[in-house]
Amino acid sequence: MTETAPFFSDADLAGDFYTRRFQPGPSENTLILNMGPQHPSTHGVLRIVLEVDGEYIVRAEPVLGYLHRMHERMAEEKTYLQYLPNMGRVDYLHALAWNWAFVGAVERLAGIEVPERAEYIRVITTELNRVASHLVWWGAYLLDLGAFTPILYAFEDREWILDLLQTPTGARLTYSYFRPGGVAADIDKEFLKGAKDFAVHMRDRLKMYKDLVTDNIIFRKRLEGIGPISLDMCRRYGATGPVVRGSGLAYDVRRAEPYSVYDRFEFEIPTTGSGDAMGRYRVRMEELEQSLRIIEQAVDSIPEGEIRVKGAPKVKWKAPAGEAYFAVEGGRGKIGVHLVSDGSNRPYRCKLRAPGFSNMSLFGEIARGILLADAVAILGSLDLVIPEMDR
């Protein structure tokens, strides 16, 4: 039996094969496919225009714009406090991280010192929200790859977190809980006990998740060696979060640009050197354990005191003229808010730095030459939330 030659030779992949053969338009041997904007694995309205030659992707172009809501322009029409609910709509999975980035920029702009108890509350609630975000990613990722059962376990555990966060925040998804100078409401002993009980419960579940999914040979074969991303590519596109940590760089805003009281807690920054989809998966699974560690330490050491600074900004509050930037570590990477004030009660300019946009931008480069079936595995490993990118 004659051995079949590989689809792409090493010389093709190393040279300007794509430029010579497929630019500027498709050749007679290729087909243009639209993946999305309604494809289930794009989790929203992301459209990817694919040029395929048989089972292989020749070119991939992500297309945004189907969900654009003009968040940055809206900031110029609202007061600082009126704009705060927008943050829960940018990344609905880790809304509290976006809450924090915005109020942090306001506080830096105005020189506001946040009470210590409020800082601990922010840490506890944001880390719980991070776990909930990762659980949605985990369950949905497995669903995209063809496994239905994991998302049922993930949403069962996430429900516990939503029940906890609903008490102080009054919401279950698009939170608007933080305020410039503190938080909107205090947490009680029942909340703190629930947070610690959840941490104990979740550790047992992580063992089950490992047996059910992480060590599953079918799952591993779908991810190992797929979609390798080098550190150089991460730097060129500005990739952060689990994407860059999956490529071996221990960059985490909570350590690299310390804020709040994170420097008081012991936790690791998980990394892997493989750079593939499996590496990014393992980083997020380890991050779940590290968030549980932070939650337990914060619950054990939370001080008494005020939850909001006296004289905290109200709706008609006017910020001092100037500018400020504040960054936090979100579930998908580095979130940044840059505010420019002209001394009025509304931002003159607000720029939002969404980590998903940078992480998604590299897909076009790593998709060239891969099997069409691997596109879903790579996209899922990037943990894309479309409202965050298309804001």
CA 26 – CA 68 distance, rounded (Å): 29
User: What is the distance between the alpha carbons of residues 245 and 243, in angstroms, rounded to a whole number?
Assistant: 6
Task: For the chain, list the domains and their CATH numbers.
Answer: 71-359 (1.10.645.10)
Angstrom distance (rounded) from CA 86 to CA 151: 28
Among candidate residues 167, 103, 88, 176, the one with its CA nearest the CA of residue 133: 88
pLDDT value of position 29: 81
* Per-residue pLDDT tens digits of the chain, which is 391 residues long: 444 444 445 554 444 444 444 444 555 688 998 887 776 666 778 889 999 999 999 999 998 888 888 999 999 999 999 999 999 999 999 999 999 999 999 999 999 999 999 999 999 999 999 999 999 999 999 999 999 999 999 999 999 999 999 999 999 999 999 999 999 999 999 999 999 999 999 999 999 999 999 999 999 999 999 999 999 999 999 999 999 999 999 999 999 999 999 999 999 999 998 999 999 999 999 999 999 999 999 999 999 999 999 989 988 899 999 999 999 999 999 999 999 999 999 999 999 999 999 999 999 999 999 999 999 999 999 999 988 888 8
**Total residues belonging to the chain:** 391
Preceding omega of 24 cis (within 30 degrees of 0): yes
Task: Name the residue among 339, 261, 331 with its Cα closest to residue 297.
Answer: 261
Identify the burial level of 370 via C-beta atoms within 10 angstroms of its C-beta, where 0-12 means exposed, 13-18 middle and 19 or more buried.
middle
What is the per-residue DSSP string for 173-233? SS---EETTEESS---HHHHHHHHHHHHHHHHHHHHHIIIIIT-HHHHHHHTTSS---HHH
Residues 94 and 111: their CA atoms lie apart, in Å, by 26
Q: How many Å apart are CA 43 and CA 24, to the nearest integer? A: 30
Q: Which residues contact 242 (CB under 8 A, 6 or more apart)?
A: 280, 283, 284, 287, 332, 333, 383
Cis peptide before 37 (omega within 30 of 0): yes
Cβ contacts of residue 159 below 8 Å, gap of 6+?
A: none
pTM exceeds 0.95: no
The whole-number pLDDT of residue 44 equals 72
